[in-house]
Amino acid sequence: MANEVFCRSFQAAMKAGNYFMGYRTPQLVAAGPGSVKKLPFAIKQQGVNNILLVTDEGLLKLGLPSRLTEALEKTNVRYTLFSDVQPNPTDLNVEAGLELYKQNNCEGIVAFGGGSPMDCAKGIAARLAHPNKTIPQLQGILKVHKRIVPFWAVPTTSGTGSETTVAAVLTEAATHHKASINDPAILPKYAVLDPELTVGLPPFITATTGMDALCHAVEAYTNQTYNTSVENTMAKDAVRLIHDWLYVAYQDGSDLKAREKMQYAAFYAGRAFTRGCVGYVHAVGHTLGGLYGVAHGLAMSVILPHVMRQFGPAVYDRLADLADVCGLPGTDKQKKAENFIAWIEDMKIKMGLPAGFDCIRKEDYEQIWKWADAEANPLYPVPVIWQKEDFYHLLDTLREAHY
């Protein structure tokens, strides 16, 4: 069980250590409609002529990577396509991509897609840096700590913010255990934000990825311990953009302005939680992804309001700030916080997202608690440090939730 004194002491030490971690924001080599076509020139400027392009089968079927591959061919940049990436990428996916990289003498990596291709690509980069270690051996804090190969990130969703993060969430295929590699070494150095790549996203994916970005911003802002003014500002900017533009993008996927605003929201939210960290929403959500195959964005969408409500008075001040950013009413901080949580739930209803999960089995509670507790404590500076019974209460709530 989590020891509060130990956790807070660990976090105080991490806060001091964070000033030496070299956090940075990826350089935007291109942004705006059609900007992905400029990426090959940026690649060649770095002296790279042969890349591994990591994406997934769903994007291939939509034809999205062709916008980049055609530009690569025109610019004489060789590429090897790797698309064998599951929605919850595994260590086996990473090993398959690593083998392709070596066989084709690649010189760098382009991650093209949502969080799954991004995380898999980061895993490949980490393995290249540590050829004698497995993914489970690299999961944890600061276990890469070596320069990786040149790495460009092209997000095709507006949610994970993986182009700005030091984390790669990967599942060990043999055990279904889902955990993160956390190291600034795997943070992409370059990113491209092209809203045209997100226009074809179905409404459900638009909703869940947008709520994932909201979860990043809310958890980062309510954490506080590791944050500087940079993370606080970016978290609030992300929440404001999501409040104003997510439902617009959900209703009209062809609205390029809404798509562009949501890309920046995901970028800001990702940068905010890169230092500020996430919390129990992610810790529990990762276990549901590993055990039941629940898509990450859906898990975040469902769990977020329940965790914030369970935190109670500990988050009233911070959620009241976010309510103010969104222009939500309230006579005091508690009421503003409650209205902010109500807004999240109203958005879920309007976008057809469920209130809870009936797939959670009571016989799995012990495993879920152990995995979530191990991920979150002592690293995540959550507003309230939960014990076993708190996790069980959340799981009961998720099983029984309805609108």
The pLDDT tens digits of the residues spanning 253-285 come to 999 999 999 999 999 999 999 999 999 999 999
- Percent of the chain whose predicted confidence (pLDDT) is above 70: 100
Q: Which pairing describes strands 108-113 and 167-172: parallel, antiparallel, or unpaired? A: unpaired
Give the span between the Cα atoms of 389 and 262, in whole angstroms.
37
Cis peptide before 87 (omega within 30 of 0): no
CA distances from 346 to 170, 222, 341 (A): 31, 21, 9
The phi-psi region of residue 229 (left if phi > 0; otherwise alpha if psi is between -120 and 50; otherwise beta) is: alpha
Are 159 and 265 contacting, i.e. CB atoms less than 8 angstroms apart? no
For 76, the token pair is 């004489």
In tens, the pLDDT along 354-403 reads: 999 999 999 999 999 999 999 999 999 999 999 999 999 999 999 999 88
C-alpha 377/C-alpha 6 separation (Å) is: 9
Joined together, the tokens standing for residue 321 give 């700030």
Q: How far apart are CA 80 and CA 113, in angstroms?
A: 16
- Quote the DSSP letter at residue 225: T
Q: How many Å apart are CA 91 and CA 102, to the nearest integer?
A: 17
Q: How far apart are CA 3 and CA 378, in angstroms?
A: 8
Q: Which domains does the chain have, with CATH numbers?
A: 22-198 (3.40.50.1970), 203-400 (1.20.1090.10)
CA distance 145 to 207: 35
Tell me whether residue 174 is exposed, middle or buried, using C-beta atoms within 10 angstroms of its C-beta: 0 to 12, 13 to 18, 19 or more: exposed
- In this structure, of 23-32, 235-244, 394-403, the range with the lowest mean pLDDT score is 23-32
DSSP, collapsed to helix, strand or coil, labels residue 95 as helix
CB 268 within 8 A of CB 237: yes
State pLDDT tens for residues 302-318.
999 999 999 999 999 99
Identity of the amino acid at 248: V
| Ranges of H-type helices in 19-64 | 39-45, 57-62
CA-nearest of 213, 375, 348, 218 to 286 is 375
Confidence band of 339 (pLDDT split at 50, 70, 90):
very high
User: How long a stretch of residues is the chain?
Assistant: 403
Cβ proximity of 40 and 49 under 8 Å: no
SS3 per residue for 379-393: CCCCCCCCCHHHHHH
When pLDDT is cut at 50, 70 and 90, the band that residue 178 belongs to is confident
Please determine, for residue 245, whether its predicted confidence score (pLDDT) is greater than 70.
yes
User: What is the per-residue pLDDT for 224?
Assistant: 84
Q: pLDDT: is 353 or 189 the higher one?
A: 353
Element (H, E) at 223: helix 203-223
Burial class (CB in 10 A: 0-12, 13-18, 19+), 95: middle
Spatial separation of the C-alpha atoms in residues 337 and 250, rounded to whole Å = 25
For 90, 92, 187, 289, 372, the CA distances from 173, given in Å and listed in that order, are 6, 7, 24, 12, 18
Contact in structure between 376 and 387 (CB atoms under 8 Å)? no
pTM of the entire structure? 0.91
Peptide bond into 378 cis (omega under 30): yes
The pLDDT of residue 1 is 62
Mean pLDDT of the 345-353 span: 98
Separation CA 395–CA 403 (nearest Å): 17
